[in-house]
């Protein structure tokens, strides 16, 4: 099966003499399949894809949430934990009770052995406490480009969503987003900022997102394929 780029989207191409129309499928993993008649020209395919971009973006976004979980962490020395896209090793240490339960020191995480059973909650709190500066930088840079104003930024557990926005112009982001690479955080932030002015995944919504991030489809697909590993 060949791969073809149309309207800045990558498709796996399936041609068949039995087909009379062009069909687009968004697979479970976020990959795109284009089924077309043998005689369809690339110009015809480009036109069809162009008319379906809003539908494609919406379908990709529906697959974006954290729909599955990574293998559960054991909180043992040598285990890797993501922060802003990079993986850092954990070292379980023997330390006095007046030392921090969990800290980031010299490019690694250190967890006190006596609180190892609290490892998950300690990491959740660490991400929640340390994510805000990077998140704020992205929001401050992107909000004027839409433009949009927001009331507050909150970091919490959002279940299967990377982010959401409230009725009062409040922005909410999952603490798991602290693990993502900056390019993916940028997409999540852009997505929620645009939702403050365009509530639904309408053509106007995706037009605004694409204006800021022309490769938004690739970023959504990356999250669909890789998002589950960014978990505890």
Cis? peptide before 229, omega within 30° of 0: no
Cα dihedral value 174, 194, 150, 157, nearest 10 = -10
* pTM (two decimals): 0.88
Task: Please name every residue paired with 3 in a beta bridge, in sequence order, or none if there are none.
Answer: 12
Query: pLDDT band at residue 9, thresholds of 50, 70 and 90?
Result: confident
CATH 3.30.2010.10 fits 73-232, yes or no: yes
Q: Are 207 and 50 in contact (CB under 8 A)?
A: no
Domain ranges of the chain: 2-51, 73-232
Within 13 Å and on the Cβ side, how many CA atoms surround 174? 21
pLDDT above 70 for 68: no
Q: Which of 155 and 221 is assigned the larger pLDDT? A: 155
Distance CA 187, CA 99 (A): 37
User: Number of helices and strands (H, E) in the chain?
Assistant: 7, 11
């Amino acid at each position: 099966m060949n791969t073809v780029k149309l309207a800045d989207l990558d498709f796996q191409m399936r041609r068949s003499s039995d087909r009379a129309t062009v069909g687009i499928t968004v697979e479970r993993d976020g990959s795109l399949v284009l089924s077309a008649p043998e005689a369809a020209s690339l110009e015809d395919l480009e036109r069809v894809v162009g008319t379906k971009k809003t539908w494609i973006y919406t379908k990709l976004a529906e697959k974006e949430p954290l729909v599955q979980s990574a293998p559960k962490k054991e909180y043992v020395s040598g285990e890797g934990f993501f922060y802003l896209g990079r993986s850092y090793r954990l070292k379980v240490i023997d330390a006095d009770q007046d030392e921090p339960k969990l800290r980031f020191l010299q490019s690694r995480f250190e967890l006190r052995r006596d609180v190892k059973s609290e490892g998950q909650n300690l990491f959740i709190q660490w991400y929640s406490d340390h994510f805000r500066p990077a998140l704020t930088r992205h929001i401050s840079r992107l909000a004027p480009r839409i433009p949009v104003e927001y009331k507050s930024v909150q970091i919490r557990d959002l279940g299967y969503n990377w982010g959401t926005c409230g009725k009062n112009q409040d922005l909410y982001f999952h603490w798991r987003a602290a693990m993502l690479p900056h390019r993916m955080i940028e997409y999540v932030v852009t997505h929620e900022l645009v939702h403050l002015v365009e509530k639904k995944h309408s053509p106007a919504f995706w037009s605004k997102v694409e204006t800021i991030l022309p490769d938004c489809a690739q970023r959504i697909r990356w999250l669909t394929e890789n998002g589950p590993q960014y978990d505890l």
